[in-house]
Structures are given as C-alpha cells and as structure tokens.
Amino acid sequence: MYVAVKGGEAAINEAHKLLAEERRGDPSVSELSVDQIDEQLSLAVDRVMTEGSLYDRKLAALAIKQARGDLIEAIFLIRAYRTTLPRFGSSSPVDTAAMGIRRRISATFKDIPGGQILGPTFDYTHRLLDFKLAAEGDGGHGNSLDEDAGSIDEKVLLDEAMPRVVDLLKHEGLIEDERPGDDDDDVGDLTREPMSFPVERDIRLQNLARGDEGFLLALGYSTQRGYGRSHPFAGEIRLGEVAVEFTPEDLGFPIEIGELTLTECQMVNQFKGSAEAPPQFTRGYGLSFGHCERKVIAMALVDRALKGRALGETVEGPAQDEEFVMEHSDNIQATGFVEHLKLPHYVDFQSELELVRKMRRKMARADADNANNEIVEAAE
Amino acid sequence: MNMSNHIASSSEDQRAPGNADAQSSDRSAWMSILAKADPGELSRAWDSLDDKPKWRWLRKPETGLVMVRGRAGGTGAAFNLGEMTVTRCAVVTESGDGDGGFTGQGYLAGRDRRHAELAALFDALLQDSSRRPALEDTLLKPLADGLTARRRSASAKSAATKVDFFTLVRGED
C-alpha cells in the first residue's frame, strides 16, 4: 500500500529542472518544433491520438515533445487534458464507405471495384536503413505529381465509388451482416460509466479502440498461433479522410465540422455454423484515428476473438476472455498500477519487515527449543 | 435564446412558406465549407471586405469536445471511437439601419479561435440576402473549389499507387 509522504520539495524541483534539461538535450542541436513532430513523426502522433482517445494533431505532437518521445507518457498527458474540456455532444456515426481513400487493399479479392490502392505504405520496402535520411538537408522525397499540380485535371484519379469489400459478400448472405442497433442514441461510453461484464459490442469496440497497441498486437498474434484460432483474412484495410457531421443543439441541423484521417480494418473469419446458423464468414472490426494499421488489424483480430461467446465457441485462449482483455487493455490504467510500485512504500515495507523478523525469531526460538530437547533426550 | 427562431424572423427568405428546410440545408452547406476552409483564406477575405458590419459576441470562442462515433463493421451498431477538439462561438451583426442583424455561428474541428470567429461572422453575412450572392461568388465558390482541388490532388497521388499484383502472369497474346 502506498502511504502519502511529505517534504522533498527542493529535490523535486531540481529533478524537474534536470528533466527539462535532458528533454532539451544538447543545446547546440536545434530544437524540435511541435509542427515538425506533427509533420515528420506523424505515425507517433496518430498513435497518441488513438490511445489518448482525442483527435488533435497539435496537442498530440506537443505531448510527444513534452514526454521526450515516451508515447505512453504522452497518451497520459492527452487523457489528463481531455478531462479539462466540456463535451458539446456526439457526432453522427462516420461513414467510412464515403472515405476519401489514400490507401485501400484487400487480401481476399484481387479485383475489387475501385481497385487496390497501395498508398503510403512500408509494405514492400526492403527494411534497409536509408542513410540518405541521415544526411543533412532535404533528401530526395516527394511525389512527381507535386511538380505539376496545376495539371491535375489530366491526371488519373481514383474511382468515385470505393465500396467496402465485405459489403460485396453480403449479397449472397455469405458473411455475417452488421446492422445498426435499435437506438443509435443509446451508445455506451466507458469514460462516463464503469464497465460491467458481460459488455455489449459498443463498449468493447470503444475499449479496444483506445487500448494499447502492443497489448492488442500480442493478443491478436496469440489467436493466430492457436489460442482461440479464427482463420482470419484481411478483407479490407482502408486509410483516408472522412467528414465528421455534428448537429449542435442550438442549430438543430447537421454541419460538417471538419475531416479526420481514419484507418479501418475489416477482418473476415471462418465459422463452421451451428444448429441455428448455416456456415458463413464472421467478422472482426478495427478503427483508429490517423494511420494506425497494425493497431486496427490487431483490434479486428481481438474483436473477432471476443465474439466467441456470442457464437457459442469454447473460450480457450486469453484473447477470447472478455474480462481479461478489457480489464488489461488500457495502458494508462496499467502503467498507473505497475509504475506506482516505484513510489515510497516505506511504512508498508516496514510492517512487512517487522513481520518477517518476527517470524524468523519465532522459528529460531523453536529450533533452539528442539535442540535443547534433543540434548536433554541424549543426556537421558 | 433560440437562435434558429431569431434567424427565421430576421431572414427575408423565410417569408416563403415551406422554405425552412432549403434554408437550413444551404446554411449547413456553407457552414461546412467555412469549417473546413483554410483560416488564412477566411482572414484575407474578411480583411478585403469593404463594408464590414458592426458586430458583438453572443458567445465568445470556447473549445470543447465532440465524441466521434463509428459503426461496428462500418454499418452496424454505433460505438464511441474517441473525442475530437471542437471550437465554437456565436456573433450578432448589426444591419446598417441599426435594426437587428443576423446571428452567425462557428463550429469547427480544432482549437483555432480566430477561425471560429471568422466562420461565425461569414455565417452571419451569408444569411443577409443582400450580401449572399456576392459572397457566394467571391468566398464560398473559391473555398469549395479549393477543397475539391485538395481532394483531387490526394486522389491523383493515390491513384498512381493503384496496383494489379497479377499483371506479371498474363501472356502477351
């Protein structure tokens, strides 16, 4: 148990000064700006926004700078900041089918309406360090299209319609349908009410969306290795911009307040059917702020694994255990409890120390008594 | 104070019966453009306005959160994905003859107070039927064109990465 301590102000102040100095690093190296972090460490910004559960690129970039690149510390800063702001309301559910696509791939069908769009991806790179990036100056970059942006009219554009790949399977009834609930206004919010198990899908998806990428990655991997196998295929991964529509109470009609970058993963999984349901594909879903591809794939694997209970599957792996997954997915809760171990526990430890000493004294006395008895017996 | 009533009573176009929906859909469209516009362009447009109206705050810029919702599988039950920062404000303009003017509102993603202020001011001006035609030509159309150009540019860059993994196995004939 942690017991409050007093004092140490001077040392704490000095420690924070030292922290600021370390954060800045060598003053002869130019300082990072928040804009540079936003533009050039954009995937770190995306992760902080997703797990901090707050879409604001500049705030996430600032948090990364303040946290010296410790992303969980940055997420902590963002979570703390959001509690200081009032909530104006909730958006209409975003329409990812209407996304302005920048990347869209399917591992299940090679020919899809709209085509496969690789977009900005690390896939098919050789994973060799590029020392050109270490050289000073503006290394080779950019898209040749930048140079003649004026002639965009003659360029090939993406197809207007980019239907969701999983929707194509729906026509034959080959895949589980995802239908809106009866009441779109009745959406659970784990930032307002504590979770109680079993939970509905809305709470599960909210929990996974803000859950730790590493934790979900390991759990998703575990399902592939046999701990709750569900035969996944990445039906579709898409990245791009969607408009956010919000109806302010004082206006009474919807307006688009801006655009967000989102990543979505639709996982297609096998299901052999049951007495009631014919065999069909089942689904897992992942959605994140920004470009968090690994996160949404892992999220979709875990979402599908957690459907096991509803589908009557035997729970045999940790990823299928709803309470285990959802109670341990939040890296801010986890880090709070794990890292509090380093705070002063002096009183608590003193009592444990006393207890161990007492037990040892008792044992020593018992040993001495036994030894005395043996001497007495031997003498007799 | 019910602002939509205020707007209805102060807008000439509202006199035509059954026009309320069309009016709010127009307003929704221009408010969306103003929210997504580059704040620098709005600022330049305001600076170049010859007859700026007198105006006062009805609600000063305030930053808060909107919970962004998604749907399970894209089409299923709604769920809370996470929040976004949003800044809002409201202004009232005065018409030239000192009569009641128009209530303009700004609602937009992010924390840019000046952007929200400019969006609210132009929202008020666009409700003034004597100003709207000019503003539609000089402000809304260029802004909308800019948004379209941005989308087309992104689309062209992505289209260049469109792939057919199976081209190699095709025969020549």
Q: Are A54 and B85 a contacting pair at CB < 8 A?
A: yes
Look up residue B50 and give its amino acid: D
Buried b (16+ CB within 10 A) or exposed e, A186-220: ebbebeeeebeeebebbbbbbbbbbbbbebbbebb
> What domain count does chain B have?
1
- What pLDDT shows up at residue B17? 42
Distance from CA of B9 to the nearest CA of A (A): 15
**A364–chain B Cβ distance below 8 A for any pair:** no
Q: Are A56 and B85 a contacting pair at CB < 8 A?
A: yes
pTM for the model stands at: 0.90
Using an 8 Å Cβ cutoff, are A317 and A222 in contact? yes
Chain B residues in contact with A152 (beta carbon < 8 A): 149, 152-153, 156
Model confidence pLDDT, tens digit, residues B102-139: 999 999 999 999 999 999 999 999 999 999 999 999 99
- What pLDDT shows up at residue A203? 97
Find all residues with CB under 8 Å of A11, minimum gap 6, and list them.
none
Query: Rounded CA gap, A365 and A342, in Å?
Result: 36
**In-domain check, residue B164:** no
Chain A residues in contact with B71 (beta carbon < 8 A): 93-94, 96, 178, 180
Using an 8 Å Cβ cutoff, are B109 and A244 in contact? yes
Could you say which of B65, B153, B163 has the minimum Cβ distance to residue A149? B153
**In-domain check, residue B126:** yes
Distance from CA of B169 to the nearest CA of A (A): 14
Query: Rounded CA gap, B82 and A210, in Å?
Result: 8
- What pLDDT shows up at residue B96? 63
Three-state SS at B82: strand
Mean pLDDT of A15-27: 97
**A347–chain B Cβ distance below 8 A for any pair:** no
Distance from CA of B2 to the nearest CA of A (A): 7
Contacting A residues, span 272-291, partner chain B, CB-CB under 8 Å: 283, 285, 287, 289
Assess whether pLDDT exceeds 90 at residue B42.
yes
Give the pLDDT band of residue B6 (cuts 50, 70, 90).
Answer: very low
Q: Are A158 and B86 a contacting pair at CB < 8 A?
A: no
Interface predicted TM-score (ipTM): 0.91
Could you say which of B82, B90, B108 has the minimum Cβ distance to residue A257? B108
Distance from CA of A117 to the nearest CA of B (A): 4
Determine the residue of chain B that is closest to A240 in CA distance: B154
Q: Are B162 and A116 a contacting pair at CB < 8 A?
A: yes
- Taking one residue from A and the other from B, the number of pairs with CB-CB distance under 8 angstroms is 251
**What percent of chain A is predicted at pLDDT more than 70?**
94
Q: Are A201 and B76 a contacting pair at CB < 8 A?
A: yes
Give the number of residues written for chain A. 380
Give the pLDDT band of residue B2 (cuts 50, 70, 90).
Answer: very low
**In-domain check, residue B130:** yes
- What pLDDT shows up at residue B164? 81
**In-domain check, residue B128:** yes
Tell me the CA distances in angstroms from A222 to A229, A302, A323, A375, one per residue in order. Answer: 8, 10, 17, 61
Model confidence pLDDT, tens digit, residues A324-341: 999 999 999 999 999 999
Mean pLDDT of B26-54: 95
Chain A residues in contact with B83 (beta carbon < 8 A): 53-55, 82, 87
Give the pLDDT band of residue A26 (cuts 50, 70, 90).
Answer: very high
- What pLDDT shows up at residue B8? 38
Mean pLDDT of B154-172: 77
Chain B residues in contact with A84 (beta carbon < 8 A): none
Model confidence pLDDT, tens digit, residues A208-256: 999 999 999 999 999 999 999 888 999 999 999 999 999 999 999 999 9
Chain A residues in contact with B147 (beta carbon < 8 A): none
**A178–chain B Cβ distance below 8 A for any pair:** yes
**A82–chain B Cβ distance below 8 A for any pair:** yes
Range of the structural domain that residue B141 is part of: 16-150
Determine the residue of chain B that is closest to A103 in CA distance: B158
Give the pLDDT band of residue B36 (cuts 50, 70, 90).
Answer: very high
Query: Rounded CA gap, A277 and A256, in Å?
Result: 41
- What pLDDT shows up at residue A258? 98
Could you say which of B65, B81, B151 has the minimum Cβ distance to residue A287? B81
**In-domain check, residue B111:** yes
C-alpha dihedral over A155, A156, A161, A167, to 10 degrees? -140
